[in-house]
Amino acid sequence: MNIQDNYLKNKKNIFFSENKDIQTHREKLINIFENDGFDKKNNESLKNINQKNFIDFKYRYLISEETSVINNNQENNYSIVSVNGQCSSFKDDKIEITKILDEDYNDFSKNDTIENNDHFVNLNSLFLNSGFKIVIKKNNNIKIKISNIITDDDLTIFQKNNYICEEGSSLNLIEEYENKNNSTSNILNVIKLEKNSQLNHFLIQDNSPNHNLIITSHSSCKKDSTYTQKVYNFSEGYVRNFHYSELIGANSEADLQGIFFLKDNNTSNNKTFVKHLAEDCKSNQVYKGILNDSSKATYFSNTHVDQVAQKTEGYQLSKGILLSDNASYFSKPELKIYADDVKCSHGSTIGPIDENAIFYLRSRGMSKIAATKILISSFINEELSSIDNEQMSEIIQKKLVRYLSKVK
Amino acid sequence: MNSETLNTLDSYSKNKYKYGFVTDIDNEKPKKGLNEDTIKFISLKKKEPNWMLEWRLKAFSKWKKMKEPKWANLNFPQIDYQDIYYYSAPKGFEKKPKDLSEVDPKLIETYNKLGIPLEEQKVLAGVAVDVVFDSVSVATTYKGELEKLGIIFCSIGEAIQKHPDLIKKYLGSVIPAGDHSFSALNSAVFTDGSFVYIPEGIKCPMELSTYFRINAENTGQFERTLIIADKGSYVSYLEGCTAPKRDDNQLHAANVELIALEDAEIKYSTVQNWYPGDEDGKGGIYNFVTKRGLCAGKNSKISWTQVETGSAITWKYPSCILKGDNSIGEFYSVAITNNFQQADTGTKMTHIGKNTKSKIISKGISLGKSQNTYRGEVSFLRKADKARNYTQCDSLLVGNKCGAHTVPYIDSKNNSAVIEHEASTSKINEDQLYYCRQRGLSHEEAVSLIVNGFCKQVLQELPMEFAVEAQKLVSISLEGSVG
């Protein structure tokens, strides 16, 4: 079924289909789909994926009877269970959770950092059926853990979440995506950091082979704010992590990191993009991947430094280990620089596990498999040891052990 | 930024093109425009056999269906292919002169202005020069000596007549006519260029060199160069260019094909200093070059070295297809852009064979309002066991109105292949400047020294004859920046 028919047929289930502004925007998006075609070769958002699953999908959405739960068990500690992308409203003197509104949609659709040929983001805007908005109030320091639950098979979730960290606030956000059903989630997180705020964002992704997760985020950082994102992808199903950051205030920082573990026929597409639009900002983009069997991965990273963004420091690093003959890894680390007083660099390596290192360990009596496992663990040790949350560290260690047990 | 640096930048950007002059020679041209008649005219003028004309027409029919590649980071007005002369040969060159004394003295004068005294070069440098003035080779030296070794070094037109077997076998084998629109265009209308064949086991005793020169106004130059190194042979080829000052944009779409058979080595060096346009970005040459080398045999090696300082637009990706096992590809590049120049240049290393190695060193320097992009692709195919690549691309920005971009594509499909890529972008280090100035160097000398040091890794790869010229060129490009 083509996109337009699909949309028209399900229009009544889709958010904001009464709003005229949004309606015009959506018509534009449909036009992009009609005219652009699906040029896999030149469209980063489509590389390696099976278009059929994503473009010619069957739309299905349920509002679950189970309601989401918001707990405030400890002081400053919240845990949220979002069901099918929805979350009930909540309000206290520190945070406020609501449904997303028309204005949040417009707010995002005017942004031009994300390319207009990113079909997944366009699909998200078109079929939007869930999402919530979380505001962290001024000068609060809190922790939130969100578990994303999907209740049924073959659902298509198109979710848009807004996070707003008000001035001087600090948020530690852990998001879990662990689903065992055959659904597709297409999530767009729009994150706003006001002056002097801070957000540590962890995403743990561990879905079953038939569950697809497409997650895109767009963060904008005002003066003196810091956004740190760490993605741990253990999923056995398709995952797309596209993360965009805009540094719009002086002295702000963005740190986008990720590690992914792939096996079997799994595919993962990753992208990070940092746009420096103010002076004295720092950015860091680090992705590491381990690819086994016939898995495929892509990683696009991009640092854009505007003419006014003097004294920028922007670093990129991409590392891949191929464990099997059939695995493939594509990386494209880009720098676009229009200011002269900058320090920017990127590094990229792809290769097998160092044979000399294996030899060293084996000469000390270790089996080849044990040596391989040790070297994989050490490859990502830096990322794992930097987790300061003990509970999370444990969870991730367990998942790593599970992945390593399949390595032969 | 201090005022001195600003002054420096100012004078930099005012630095004018030194080699801008026009030699008045009557040109014989067909009508403007591109159609089958133009191609037939070219083919007739060059007395080509029928199969060549057919080859050209086939390429032309492909070109008609193609669009220019659009992915490069370049902005330029639509090229009007019907407003260009496709053939221009200095009059009286139907019969080639037997030696230099028969050559039009005005031509000789042109070369002298450029500092390439043919006579002197013959004696001093020991370089055989196959000079291309506009589109026809005017003089070939040292031919006899090369002939003794069985080396064929002549214009491609001559090769088509005298060595049709080699041409039929290799022309278009590395860059197929239908590869992209510029290669199809070149295949259809190429007028001259060099042909080199090094027989089995021969090490070419001297650097082979061609000076290209674009002279007649509105004449696109479509060179076709084909170099074949047979088993176990070695050749080093130099290509250098300077062009007179013109206001109209001139199109240049050359194709260069290299083929290295088993154990052979080809070293190809370029210094390109065509007219870059004036300080307002008016005029200048559009340089759309396709250069590709095929390491066909085992243990073969192809090495590209380029110094790009000229042209309003540079679109150039000398690449290597590493097909033979243990073959090696290298790419060394310095690209300097000033004023409104735009360069999108880089390389493509395709590893097919086992144990293939490649190395990429690229240095980009942006000044004024220019845009300088490195675009490179390294790919390891499934069977490229133990292949190895090292890439380093550094950019230097002088002034805050220019841009430096790096766009590498890295694709690995083999788990024993190792790829390393690093890149950095920065401005000239203040500490280094301070250090140099403290030791009594002027600001200009200091910048020049630092930039030359920045490029050294590449410049040292050039053959002696070129290294001097290239270093001068780097200094000239910086001159004024530096004052």
**What residue in A sits closest to B71 (Cα-Cα)?**
A42
How many CB pairs (< 8 A) connect A and B?
110
The answer to whether residues B433 and B419 touch, using CB atoms and an 8 Å cutoff, is no
CB pair distance less than 8 Å for A340 and B402: yes
Going A101 to A45 to A110 to A336, the CA torsion angle's sign is: positive
The answer to whether residues B27 and B88 touch, using CB atoms and an 8 Å cutoff, is yes
**What residue in B sits closest to A318 (Cα-Cα)?**
B421
> In 3D, which of A287, A265, A202, A232 has the Cα closest to residue A399?
A232
Pick A305 or B460 by higher pLDDT. Answer: A305
Asked whether residue A274 carries a pLDDT value surpassing 70, the answer given is yes
Same-domain check for residues A338 and A364:
no
Q: Would you state the structure tokens that stand for residue B108, as one six-digit string?
A: 């000789």
- Whole-model pTM? 0.81
**What residue in A sits closest to B417 (Cα-Cα)?**
A351
- Of residues A342, A343, A347, nearest to B421 (C-beta): A347
Same-domain check for residues A220 and A270:
yes
- Of residues B397, B403, B421, nearest to A348 (C-beta): B421
- Identify from B378, B392, B413, B429 which residue to disrupt to test chain A contact, counting A C-beta atoms within 10 A and taking the largest count: B413
Asked whether residue B216 carries a pLDDT value surpassing 80, the answer given is no
**C-alpha distance from A48 to closest chain B C-alpha (Å):** 13
Residues 6+ apart with CB under 8 A from B359: B328, B329, B330, B331, B389, B390, B391
Backbone φ, ψ for residue A124 (5° rounding): -60, -45
- Of residues A307, A330, A337, nearest to B404 (C-beta): A337
Overall size of chain A counted in residues? 408
Q: How many CB atoms lie within 10 A of CB A288?
A: 20
Whole-number Å distance between alpha carbons of B40 and A216: 57
Element (H, E) at B183: helix B181-189
In percent, the amount of chain B with pLDDT more than 70 equals 75
What's the Cα-to-Cα distance from A102 to each of A28, A194, B9, rounded to whole Å? Answer: 17, 21, 50
Residues A281-292: tens digit of each pLDDT? 999 999 999 999
CB pair distance less than 8 Å for B425 and A320: no
Pick B469 or A259 by higher pLDDT. Answer: A259
pLDDT at B88: 64
Asked whether residue B306 carries a pLDDT value surpassing 80, the answer given is yes
Helix ranges restricted to H, A339-388: 355-363, 368-379, 381-385
**C-alpha distance from B391 to closest chain A C-alpha (Å):** 9
pLDDT at A384: 84
CB pair distance less than 8 Å for B425 and A345: yes
In percent, the amount of chain A with pLDDT more than 90 equals 32
Partners of residue A86 on adjacent β-strands: A83
**Which chain B residues touch A if contact means CB-CB below 8 Å?**
71, 382, 395, 397-427
**What residue in B sits closest to A319 (Cα-Cα)?**
B420
pLDDT at B25: 53
CB pair distance less than 8 Å for A339 and B421: no
pLDDT at B13: 52
Q: State the average pLDDT over residues B439-466.
A: 83
- Identify from A335, A343, A407 which residue to disrupt to test chain B contact, counting B C-beta atoms within 10 A and taking the largest count: A335
Pick B274 or B264 by higher pLDDT. Answer: B264
Whole-number Å distance between alpha carbons of B423 and A344: 8
Domain extent for A93: 3-354
Same-domain check for residues A316 and A349:
yes
Whole-number Å distance between alpha carbons of A167 and B220: 61
Pick B465 or A366 by higher pLDDT. Answer: A366
Within 8 A of B422 by CB-CB distance, chain A residues are 345-348
Q: State the average pLDDT over residues B99-119.
A: 53
Give the helix, strand, coil percentages of chain B, each rounded to 5. Answer: 25, 35, 40
Same-domain check for residues A255 and A400:
no
Q: State the average pLDDT over residues B352-367.
A: 92
- Of residues B382, B411, B424, nearest to A345 (C-beta): B424
Same-domain check for residues A365 and A347:
no
Question: How many structural domains are present in chain A?
Answer: 2
Asked whether residue B258 carries a pLDDT value surpassing 90, the answer given is yes
pLDDT at B44: 84
Same-domain check for residues A87 and A126:
yes
**C-alpha distance from A164 to closest chain B C-alpha (Å):** 33
Q: Would you state the structure tokens that stand for residue B221, as one six-digit string?
A: 């130059």
Mean pLDDT, chain B, rounded, equals 78
Q: State the average pLDDT over residues A167-175.
A: 91
CB-count exposure of residue A324 (10 Å: 0-12, 13-18, 19+) = middle
* E strands in B134-202: 136-140, 152-155, 194-198
pLDDT at B15: 56
> In 3D, which of B214, B198, B218, B195 has the Cα closest to residue B206?
B198
CB pair distance less than 8 Å for A348 and B424: no
pLDDT at A148: 87
Q: State the average pLDDT over residues B416-427.
A: 87
Asked whether residue A67 carries a pLDDT value surpassing 90, the answer given is no
Partners of residue B332 on adjacent β-strands: B305, B361
Whole-number Å distance between alpha carbons of A379 and A297: 17
pLDDT at B445: 81
Same-domain check for residues A326 and A394:
no
* E strands in B124-254: 128-133, 136-140, 152-155, 194-198, 208-213, 224-229, 234-242, 250-252
Q: How confident is the model at residue A260 (pLDDT cuts 50, 70, 90)?
A: very high
> In 3D, which of A186, A212, A194, A215 has the Cα closest to residue A135?
A194
**C-alpha distance from A304 to closest chain B C-alpha (Å):** 9
Q: Would you state the structure tokens that stand for residue A141, as one six-digit string?
A: 């320091």
The answer to whether residues B468 and B238 touch, using CB atoms and an 8 Å cutoff, is no
Asked whether residue B419 carries a pLDDT value surpassing 70, the answer given is yes
Residues B43-92: tens digit of each pLDDT? 888 888 889 899 999 999 988 888 888 888 888 888 888 877 777 655 44
Residues A104-141: tens digit of each pLDDT? 777 666 667 777 777 888 888 888 888 888 999 998 88
Partners of residue B195 on adjacent β-strands: B154, B226
Whole-number Å distance between alpha carbons of B369 and B395: 15
Amino acid at A223: K
In percent, the amount of chain B with pLDDT more than 90 equals 23
* E strands in B25-146: 27-28, 89-90, 128-133, 136-140
Asked whether residue A398 carries a pLDDT value surpassing 60, the answer given is yes
Same-domain check for residues A329 and A368:
no
Overall size of chain B counted in residues? 483
Asked whether residue A10 carries a pLDDT value surpassing 60, the answer given is yes
Q: State the average pLDDT over residues A218-223.
A: 91
Cα–chain-centroid distance for residue A277? Answer: 22
Same-domain check for residues A109 and A221:
yes
Same-domain check for residues A336 and A231:
yes
Q: How confident is the model at residue B139 (pLDDT cuts 50, 70, 90)?
A: very low
**What residue in A sits closest to B380 (Cα-Cα)?**
A328
pLDDT at B444: 80
Residues A347-362: tens digit of each pLDDT? 889 989 888 999 999 9
Q: Would you state the structure tokens that stand for residue A137, as one six-digit string?
A: 């109030």
Q: State the average pLDDT over residues B453-479.
A: 76
pLDDT at B126: 37
What residue has token string 């037997």?
B98
Residues B323-357: tens digit of each pLDDT? 999 999 999 999 988 888 899 999 999 999 999 99
Whole-number Å distance between alpha carbons of A68 and A65: 9
Same-domain check for residues A88 and A10:
yes
Q: How confident is the model at residue B299 (pLDDT cuts 50, 70, 90)?
A: very high
pLDDT at B146: 80
pLDDT at B218: 43
Asked whether residue B124 carries a pLDDT value surpassing 70, the answer given is no
Same-domain check for residues A384 and A368:
yes
**C-alpha distance from B300 to closest chain A C-alpha (Å):** 24
* E strands in A123-266: 132-136, 141-149, 156-165, 170-177, 184-193, 198-205, 212-221, 226-233, 239-247, 253-262
B-contacting residues of A 290-309, CB under 8 Å?
Answer: 307
Q: State the average pLDDT over residues B448-464.
A: 84
Whole-number Å distance between alpha carbons of B226 and B170: 8
CB-based contact, A337 to chain B, within 8 Å: yes
CB-based contact, A221 to chain B, within 8 Å: no
Q: How confident is the model at residue B455 (pLDDT cuts 50, 70, 90)?
A: confident
Q: State the average pLDDT over residues B277-281.
A: 75
pLDDT at A109: 66
Q: How confident is the model at residue B212 (pLDDT cuts 50, 70, 90)?
A: very low
Whole-number Å distance between alpha carbons of A94 and A61: 32
Pick B379 or B205 by higher pLDDT. Answer: B379
